[in-house]
Structure 1
Amino acid sequence: MMSPSPRIILASTSPRRRELLAQLAIPFEAVDVEVDETPRLGEPAEVYVARVAAEKSLQGQCEGAAALPVLGADTEVVLDGEVLGKPRDREHGEAMLKRLAGREHRVLSGVSLRFGEQHWQAMSESRVYFRALRDAEISAYWNTGEPADKAGAYAIQGLGAVFIARLEGSFSGVMGLPVYETAELLSRVGIDVFGESQCRDER
């Protein structure tokens, strides 16, 4: 059986974003994009996340099928107003987890959708509360390999979940692609996860 033709382009090869988008049962094609994710001097976290998501969708539009909507996203862990990013190495990753331990932090997940010359954006904000962590736990967690490529050095969908005492917001947003906001944006181009409508360009 042939796979259905893609209806959108996902400007990401993140396995987590592919998994979340697949939940919506919308055929898609994933393309790899590379953008400069260096925060600008004095750039607020919300502005940074929205900008990076928008740059990813723009790059995806250049590399993907121009006739299809293009979805880009960026998810960041924010503590005391600082975007933590991904750990550079073990020392950096363990230091991140020590900072998060016993505290509340924010997770911002921005989504950007482009279709033709149209552009829509949405933002999900969640609050995550970590329990206190022992140094031995942090070291053992790093040894699993899970934190190495994750924003904030943890994965809510993996072993990192044992550190989370409470979540206020979107599980899928913390994971990497807020499903609610994504579905809302896709409806702008006529893609209804429960319907048969076709893509349309809003003018």
Structure 2
Amino acid sequence: MNTNLILASASPRRKELLELLQIPFKVIPSEVEEKVDETLHPEEMVKLLAQQKAEYVAKSNQNAYVIGSDTLVVFDGQMLGKPVDKNHAIEILQKLSGKTHEVYTGVSIIYGSQIRSFTEKTAVTFYPLSNKEIEDYVSTGEPMDKAGGYGIQGYGSLLVNKISGDYYAVVGLPIARLKRELEIVGVFSN
């Protein structure tokens, strides 16, 4: 088992999920300035962003397996990033109320000159939300650092009617698929 593994993310949620693999790893957050082509399909965009993050950390960690990840929320063809303030969070959640949106999470594993990337897409449907529900949720502060203005693993779970796809991809790291990809690149064998 090769345990020279690095998570190129400051996300505590991604760190918790990677800990499920029960193998040692280091966290070195990527400080890359994200550059994307807005004309790319969200599936390609998150893969590219994940790769940029992994490449940034891999440059100074040549003999490590580096994992980068990125998540985008898309509603009605529009990308919904992190809210800029409370009013923006309310606006985002009003859009998502009673509707289905897509969450794309891209993952890139880099080792030396090898790059292995993939994307998971999950459809998330919200219950119809009252203004009070939205305001109460925003007042928790949870939406402020989350793409799409909610965290499915926290209070945001109370907004979700159903999902179709990988729950952990919505949290930020599709861990079951990642485990299989790490086996393919030789991090550990099954």
TM-score, shorter chain, exceeding 0.5: yes
User: Residues 6 and 29 of structure 1 are in contact (CA less than 8 Å); yes or no, is this contact kept in structure 2?
Assistant: no
Q: Distance in 1 between matches of 2:184 and 2:160?
A: 34
Letter in 2 for 1:185: E
User: Residues 56 and 72 of structure 1 are in contact (CA less than 8 Å); yes or no, is this contact kept in structure 2?
Assistant: yes
User: Residues 72 and 103 of structure 2 are in contact (CA less than 8 Å); yes or no, is this contact kept in structure 1?
Assistant: yes
The counterpart of 1:150, out of the listed 138, 146, 155, is 146
Structure 1 gap ranges (5+): 196-203
Q: TM-score, length-normalised on structure 1?
A: 0.88
Map 1:40-59; keep pairs closer than 5 Å: 40-59=37-56
User: Residues 7 and 26 of structure 1 are in contact (CA less than 8 Å); yes or no, is this contact kept in structure 2?
Assistant: no
Asked if 1:102 is matched to 2:98, the reply is yes
Letter in 1 for 2:17: L
Asked if 1:165 is matched to 2:129, the reply is no
Q: Distance in 2 between matches of 1:83 and 1:140?
A: 24
In the TM superposition, what is the alpha-carbon distance from 1:190 to its structure 2 partner? 1.5
Asked if 1:86 is matched to 2:70, the reply is no
CA RMSD of aligned residues (A): 1.5
Aligned to 1:16: 13
Q: Which shifted more, 151-160 or 33-42? A: 33-42
User: Residues 46 and 108 of structure 1 are in contact (CA less than 8 Å); yes or no, is this contact kept in structure 2?
Assistant: yes
Q: Secondary structure at the match of 1:91?
A: helix
In the TM superposition, what is the alpha-carbon distance from 1:58 to its structure 2 partner? 0.3
Q: Secondary structure at the match of 1:88?
A: coil
In the TM superposition, what is the alpha-carbon distance from 1:62 to its structure 2 partner? 1.9
Q: TM-score, length-normalised on structure 2?
A: 0.94
After superposition, the Cα gap between the structure-2 partners of 1:165 and 1:109, relative to the gap in structure 1 and judged at 3 Å, is: same
Aligned to 2:27: 30
Asked if 1:116 is matched to 2:116, the reply is no
Structure 2 gap ranges (5+): none
Aligned to 2:124: 128
Q: Secondary structure at the match of 2:68?
A: strand
Letter in 2 for 1:24: L
Q: Distance in 1 between matches of 2:157 and 2:52?
A: 30
Letter in 1 for 2:71: T
Q: Secondary structure at the match of 1:156?
A: coil
Percent of aligned pairs with the same amino acid = 39
After superposition, the Cα gap between the structure-2 partners of 1:38 and 1:86, relative to the gap in structure 1 and judged at 3 Å, is: farther
Q: Distance in 2 between matches of 1:82 and 1:184?
A: 31
**1:153-196 deviation per Cα after TM superposition (whole angstroms, max 9, x unaligned):** 10110010011000111111000000122112211222237x5x
In the TM superposition, what is the alpha-carbon distance from 1:38 to its structure 2 partner? 5.5
Q: Distance in 1 between matches of 2:87 and 2:33?
A: 24
Q: Distance in 1 between matches of 2:38 and 2:175?
A: 31
